Amino acid sequence: MLFKPRSIAVFFRILVTALALTATGLIVLFFLFLVKESVPVFQAEGARFLTGGDWWVGESYGAGPMIFGSAVVTLLALAMVLPFALAGAVVASEFLSPRLRWAMKSLMELFAGVPGIIYGLLGVGVLAPAVKDFFGLIDGNTLLTAALLLGLMVFPTILTLADDALHAVPGKYRDQAQGLGLSRLETVRAVVLPQARAGLLGAVFLGLGRAMGETIAVMLVIGGRDQVPSPWYNLFAPGQSIPSKLGREAAEAVGAGLHWNALLGLGLVLFLMVLGVTVAGQLFLNKGRAT
Amino acid sequence: MKRGLVEKAAMAVLGIMAGMGVLVLVLILAEVFLRGGGALDAGFFLEESRDFGAAGGVRYQITGTLLLMVGAAALGLPLALAGALFQTEYLKSPGLKRGLRLLIYSLNGVPTILFGLLGYLFFGIYLGAGVSWLTGVLILAIMILPTIQVSVQEAIEALPENYREAGGALGLSRWQEIRSIVLPHSFFGIVTGTLLGLARAAGETAAILFTATAFSGARFPASFGDPVPTLQTHILVLAQEAVNPRAIEAAWGAGCVLLILVFSLIAASLFFRSRLSMEFDR
Amino acid sequence: MRFFGFILVVLLGQAAGAWAAPPAAKRLLVVGSTTVLPVVTLAAEAFSLRSGGEVSITVNPGGSGVGVNSVGTGRASIGMVSREIAPEEGRRFAKARLKVHVIGHDRVACVVSSAVYKAGVKALSREEIQAIYLGTIRNWKDVGGPDREILVVDKERHRGTRHEFMKYVFGDATARAPAARLVTGSNNEEQAKIAASDAAIGMLSMGWINEDVAGVGLREGGEVFFPESAHYPIVRRLSLVTAGEPEGLAREFIDFLLGPEGQRIVKKLGYQPAVRAPEVR
């Protein structure tokens, strides 16, 4: 007997551990790589890398406009879509029959999987011309267009997660509130929403994280101009987000020179932004589930 | 009575807002089928793209997308399975467990373009795989790892305690317990996770854009070192650059094909997940 | 355990590297300028047809900068460039000993939306183009056109077309264009954006001028040079770049492009041949 059950068990254990550590090791390696490769640009530019408004390959690398663009576009997207997504979640969780709720959630999960490139195509073919004509602009590729598109993209994600959070509030709270004479809607406002607060925040943060990292759809409609618009709140101006910048310039710079380091520096900034938002969101979600 | 009226009005507003959100999304996605449906005929699936997308079909784009997606899942599944088993069956320390969990969740949030950049640097340049479908598969495998692992892990953790106790009573070793109890009973979780992972890989563009794909001249790869054309990058190039109306129609057509592919995978995963919950309700 | 994991990573990596090594002799990857791309794509089709389908040549767009970078870092065997190699690039890839093979010539046109052209803007002076790209002229009526705001379209900084255009307009290949509203990549993308507008100005290779996108004349002193005329001032070389002397298939392919069949393709696409005959017409 060459292979005793015992030796198989030991072998399996080693195999599982090794594979698990391979994956974990790769992930950690990725992050270390990102940090290591972006060090030179921080050495060359210092804090100006984050605040500088001028990105001109070979001369200066200021990520300000990209950071600004990413922040504005994602926050705007969220602000526009949140009322609708929350309304949808309340309706689905509190007022729909289990069957209808299941149908709606399935539909949302289907939509949450729609690839970014499909939204990009819709952005180029439908949304950008519509924005141009509706607002009478000379061109439809603007920060607003990108935000609208992102809003559409994260709508199903936020709705599904928010619905989960609301649904996790135990039924007994609702029964008690209604026993006190509150109507169903008052119950939602006074009891369910406050109870689900952590879970809802989690949904919002995860949606924000998803929007922040989207590359292709944004790249196609944001205009690609590395400048903070003037005045800065002019949303009808073109701009640039970090992922869009990476998507457009990476191929030109791969593996060579300060330009590459600068792009990875941008990547690091993006990574930290998304990581913060995602981890916060996950912690909120877990907290929401625990209560 | 007034209170009832306010309640009704508020309900109406809520209902309208929810309905509007869903409706806009349905309408805008229907647009893809409206514009692209006309391009879908047998030739579109069977012919090679010619003349900058304006003629022929998307035959090799489809095979390229399938190849990347299946390769990524084939590589990602064992890793995810091992990760899930390691955490649920072998790892004892709760602190480490929590840490690994958070790592997987944050990996899920990493912008895909970063997978592209770093994966290319590591697999493409450092390990010398170049711009090839192999590089794409490796990058996508890591990208979909959390999707699969979370699904598998949730299925394993949902396993009723008495199943394991039965195993313990029989004096099974860990490995025997995994083989005869854990894996069979989390089967639907594994299938669900794999399908979701496939869907995610099929729809990904940014991570493979400059690491694994070619627009013209590439067909079915002859070796690991060849780039492939894909539906995603085909749509991107046409959406960005095409002027010819026929090529634009082809972009919408390719969009339809991609959307149908992704929707089928997710729908199948929803089906298997409902089987999973039935399993435990029994 | 950790050590074991590390070993496995290394082994997996090595295996991946070994599989990935392509049997090079029959395959070429050509990457870069979208101005040169149509020539190379057609030539590649003809070339592999002639060889009985034995060789496969993959052609990918990306722009001149991507072409130089890909060859410099060894990711492609041939790069396509529609400008001169920048000194900075020469330094960065000194080890690769970049070698340039001129396969044709092209003119870079200043283009406007056809609506603007039809409304009367047939020619612009260097100073007017400068002012438009700097933002001191913002309306077409200031240069004899309709009363419409100008949509200024720029190109990504590393693009060959931009280098040549800016060299003419500002005397500096990497001059900035603060008035730019859109920044596009390839010739196709720029053409699509300008065609979709009724008030745009941009820069394009001559091969991309059509009924939607009109090339305006350049006014110099009392003379106007149209893109079709022999003495048009913005001329550039279209080249292929290799790392060192090309060998094997790369050599054969470049020779094919320089041969009669390849040069016919160059001319067919609206470019001028590699060796410029004294212009008669």
Q: Using CB atoms, which residue from A21, A248, A249 is nearest to C5?
A: A21
Per-residue pLDDT for C276 more than 70?
no
pLDDT band at residue A216 under the 50/70/90 scheme = very high
> What CA–CA distance (Å, rounded) separates C165 from C127?
13
What pLDDT, on the 0 to 100 scale, is given for residue B277?
67
Give per-residue pLDDT as tens, A95-122: 999 999 999 999 999 999 999 999 999 9
The alpha carbon of residue C73 is apart from the nearest alpha carbon of chain A, in Å, by 8
Inter-chain CB proximity C65 and A252 less than 8 Å? yes
C235: left (phi over 0), alpha (psi -120 to 50) or beta: beta
For residue B80, what are the contacts with CB-CB under 8 A and spacing of at least 6?
Answer: A23, B145, B146, B148, B149, B152, B193, B197
Q: Using CB atoms, which residue from C57, C191, C212 is nearest to B217?
A: C57
Using the Cβ of B94 and the Cβ atoms of chain C, whether some distance falls under 8 Å is answered with no
> Which has more confidence, C52 or A275?
A275
Q: Using CB atoms, which residue from C8, C151, C184 is nearest to A138?
A: C151
Those of residues 260-279 in A touching chain C at CB distance below 8 A are: none
The alpha carbon of residue C59 is apart from the nearest alpha carbon of chain B, in Å, by 6
For residue A177, what are the contacts with CB-CB under 8 A and spacing of at least 6?
Answer: A186, A187, A190, A191
Q: Using CB atoms, which residue from C4, C66, C182 is nearest to A252?
A: C66
Structural domain includes residue A147: yes
Residues of C in contact with B128 (CB under 8 A): 17, 20-21
Stretch (H or E) spanning A243: helix A242-253
CA C275 to chain centre: 19
> What CA–CA distance (Å, rounded) separates A208 from A211?
5
What would you measure as the largest C-alpha separation in chain C, in angstroms?
A: 81
Stretch (H or E) spanning C107: strand C98-113
Amino acid at position B77, single letter:
L
SS3 A207: helix
Task: Give the chain C residue whose CA is nearest to the CA of A250.
Answer: C66
The alpha carbon of residue B153 is apart from the nearest alpha carbon of chain C, in Å, by 21
What pLDDT, on the 0 to 100 scale, is given for residue C7?
42
Residue ranges per structural domain of chain B? 2-37, 42-281
Using the Cβ of B93 and the Cβ atoms of chain A, whether some distance falls under 8 Å is answered with no
> Which has more confidence, A6 or A97?
A97
Inter-chain CB proximity A226 and C183 less than 8 Å? yes
What pLDDT, on the 0 to 100 scale, is given for residue B100?
86
Structure tokens at A132: 């141009």
* DSSP-assigned letters across all residues of chain B: -HHHHHHHHHHHHHHHHHHHHHHHHHHHHHHHHHHHGGG-SHHHHHSPEETTTTEE--HHHHHHHHHHHHHHHHHHHHHHHHHHHIIIII---HHHHHHHHHHHHHHHHS-HHHHHHHHIIIIIIIS---SSHHHHHHHHHHHHHHHHHHHHHHHHHTS-HHHHHHHHHTT--HHHHIIIIIHHHTHHHHHHHHHHHHHHHHH--TTTTTTTB-SBS--S-SSTT--B--HHHHHHHHHHH--SHHHHHHHHHHHHHHHHHHHHHHHHHHHHHHHHHHHHH-
CA B49 to chain centre: 25
> What CA–CA distance (Å, rounded) separates A26 from A30?
6
SS3 C270: coil
Structure tokens at B112: 């895909």
What pLDDT, on the 0 to 100 scale, is given for residue B250?
92
Residues of A in contact with B267 (CB under 8 A): 106, 110
Task: Give the chain B residue whose CA is nearest to the CA of C187.
Answer: B241
In this prediction, residues A136-155 reach a mean pLDDT of 94
pLDDT band at residue A28 under the 50/70/90 scheme = confident
Whole-complex ipTM:
0.91
The alpha carbon of residue B215 is apart from the nearest alpha carbon of chain C, in Å, by 6
Q: What is the dihedral of CA B205, B207, B212, B217, to 10 degrees?
A: 30
Inter-chain CB proximity A110 and B112 less than 8 Å? no
How far does chain B reach from its first CA to its final CA, in angstroms?
47
Stretch (H or E) spanning C153: strand C151-155
Per-residue pLDDT for C17 more than 50?
no
Structural domain includes residue A37: no
| pLDDT of chain B, 282 residues: tens digit per residue | 567 788 889 889 999 999 999 999 999 999 999 999 888 888 899 888 877 777 888 999 999 999 999 999 999 999 999 999 998 888 888 888 888 888 888 888 889 999 998 888 888 878 888 788 999 999 999 999 999 999 999 889 888 888 878 877 888 878 888 888 888 888 888 999 999 999 999 999 999 988 888 876 677 887 788 889 999 999 998 888 777 788 889 999 999 999 999 999 999 999 988 876 666 554
Q: Say if residues B86 and B215 touch (Cβ distance below 8 Å).
A: no
For residue C127, what are the contacts with CB-CB under 8 A and spacing of at least 6?
Answer: none
What pLDDT, on the 0 to 100 scale, is given for residue A22?
83
Residues of C in contact with B219 (CB under 8 A): 56
pLDDT band at residue C4 under the 50/70/90 scheme = very low
Using the Cβ of B77 and the Cβ atoms of chain C, whether some distance falls under 8 Å is answered with no
What pLDDT, on the 0 to 100 scale, is given for residue C281?
39
Using the Cβ of C49 and the Cβ atoms of chain B, whether some distance falls under 8 Å is answered with no
Q: Which numeric CATH code is attached to B42-281? A: 1.10.3720.10
Q: Say if residues A98 and A172 touch (Cβ distance below 8 Å).
A: no
For residue A158, what are the contacts with CB-CB under 8 A and spacing of at least 6?
Answer: A81, A82, A85, A86, A89, A203, A204, A206, A207
Give per-residue pLDDT as tens, C135-189: 999 999 999 999 999 999 999 888 889 999 999 999 998 899 999 999 988 888 8
SS3 C235: strand
Per-residue pLDDT for A124 more than 50?
yes
What pLDDT, on the 0 to 100 scale, is given for residue B264?
96
* Residue the block writes with tokens 């008030």: C199
Inter-chain CB proximity B243 and C13 less than 8 Å? no
What pLDDT, on the 0 to 100 scale, is given for residue C92?
85
Residues of B in contact with C188 (CB under 8 A): 52, 240-243
Burial zone of A231 (CB within 10 Å; 0-12 exposed, 13-18 middle, 19+ buried): exposed
The region of weakest confidence among A161-170, C19-28, C119-128, C240-249 is C19-28
What pLDDT, on the 0 to 100 scale, is given for residue B108?
83
**Alpha-helical segments (H) within A46-93:** 48-51, 64-90
Residues of B in contact with C60 (CB under 8 A): 131, 214-217, 227
Q: Using CB atoms, which residue from B105, B107, B174 is nearest to A9?
A: B174
- Residue C226, phi then psi, degrees to nearest 5: -90, 155
To test the contact with chain B by mutation, choose from A36, A114, A182, A240 the residue with the greatest count of B C-beta atoms within 10 A, namely A114
Q: Using CB atoms, which residue from C17, C61, C191 is nearest to B215?
A: C61
Those of residues 202-261 in C touching chain A at CB distance below 8 A are: none
SS3 C39: helix
Amino acid at position A129, single letter:
P
Structure tokens at A100: 């209808």
Those of residues 43-102 in A touching chain B at CB distance below 8 A are: 81, 83-85, 87-88, 90-92, 95
pLDDT band at residue C277 under the 50/70/90 scheme = low
Structure tokens at B141: 């495998």
> Which has more confidence, C238 or C34?
C238
Using the Cβ of B134 and the Cβ atoms of chain C, whether some distance falls under 8 Å is answered with yes
For residue C33, what are the contacts with CB-CB under 8 A and spacing of at least 6?
Answer: C63, C64, C67, C80, C81, C82, C83, C159, C160, C238
Stretch (H or E) spanning A99: helix A98-112
* Residue the block writes with tokens 């013209």: B216
Using the Cβ of A6 and the Cβ atoms of chain B, whether some distance falls under 8 Å is answered with yes
What pLDDT, on the 0 to 100 scale, is given for residue C23?
45
SS3 A60: strand
The alpha carbon of residue B188 is apart from the nearest alpha carbon of chain A, in Å, by 17
Residues of B in contact with C189 (CB under 8 A): 240-241
pLDDT band at residue C14 under the 50/70/90 scheme = very low
**Closest by alpha carbon to C241, among C254, C223, C258?**
C254
In this prediction, residues C61-80 reach a mean pLDDT of 88
Using the Cβ of C174 and the Cβ atoms of chain A, whether some distance falls under 8 Å is answered with yes
Using the Cβ of A186 and the Cβ atoms of chain C, whether some distance falls under 8 Å is answered with no
CA distances from A72 to A240, B52, C17 (A): 10, 36, 42
Residues of C in contact with A224 (CB under 8 A): 156, 182-184
Structure tokens at A154: 């994260």
> Which has more confidence, C60 or C78?
C78
Structural domain includes residue A215: yes
Q: Can the peptide bond before residue B111 be classed as cis, meaning omega within 30 degrees of 0? A: no
Using the Cβ of B127 and the Cβ atoms of chain C, whether some distance falls under 8 Å is answered with yes
Average model confidence (pLDDT) for chain C? 85
> What CA–CA distance (Å, rounded) separates B208 from B31?
26
Residues of A in contact with B106 (CB under 8 A): 275, 278-279, 282
Structural domain includes residue A246: yes
Per-residue pLDDT for C18 more than 70?
no
The region of weakest confidence among A253-257, A275-279, C88-92 is A253-257
> What CA–CA distance (Å, rounded) separates C172 from C163?
8
Inter-chain CB proximity A14 and C4 less than 8 Å? yes
Kind of pairing between the strands at C78-81 and B49-50: unpaired
What pLDDT, on the 0 to 100 scale, is given for residue C25?
55
Stretch (H or E) spanning A267: helix A257-290
Count the neighbouring beta carbons within 10 Å of the beta carbon of residue C139. 14
Using the Cβ of A150 and the Cβ atoms of chain B, whether some distance falls under 8 Å is answered with no
What CATH number does the domain containing A79 carry?
A: 1.10.3720.10
For residue A138, what are the contacts with CB-CB under 8 A and spacing of at least 6?
Answer: A132, C148, C149, C150, C151, C181, C197, C199
Residues of C in contact with A26 (CB under 8 A): 9
Domain tally for chain A?
1
Inter-chain CB proximity A16 and B86 less than 8 Å? yes
Burial zone of A156 (CB within 10 Å; 0-12 exposed, 13-18 middle, 19+ buried): buried
In this prediction, residues A56-71 reach a mean pLDDT of 90
Work out the angle between the directed axes of helices A5-45 and B94-109 (0-180°, nearest 10): 50
Which residues of chain A form beta strands (DSSP E)?
55-56, 60-61
What pLDDT, on the 0 to 100 scale, is given for residue A224?
87
Q: Which domains does chain C have, with CATH numbers?
A: 28-104+237-273 (3.40.190.10), 107-225 (3.40.190.10)
Task: Give the chain C residue whose CA is nearest to the CA of B224.
Answer: C20
Q: Which chains touch C (3 or more CB pairs under 8 A)?
A: A, B
Per-residue pLDDT for C16 more than 70?
no
Inter-chain CB proximity B240 and C29 less than 8 Å? no
Inter-chain CB proximity A185 and B10 less than 8 Å? yes
Inter-chain CB proximity C58 and B214 less than 8 Å? yes
DSSP state of C182: E
> What CA–CA distance (Å, rounded) separates A49 from A265?
9
For residue C143, what are the contacts with CB-CB under 8 A and spacing of at least 6?
Answer: C121, C124, C128, C132, C137
For residue A213, what are the contacts with CB-CB under 8 A and spacing of at least 6?
Answer: A243, A270, A274, B109, B110, B111, B112, B113, B114
Domain region containing A232: 66-290
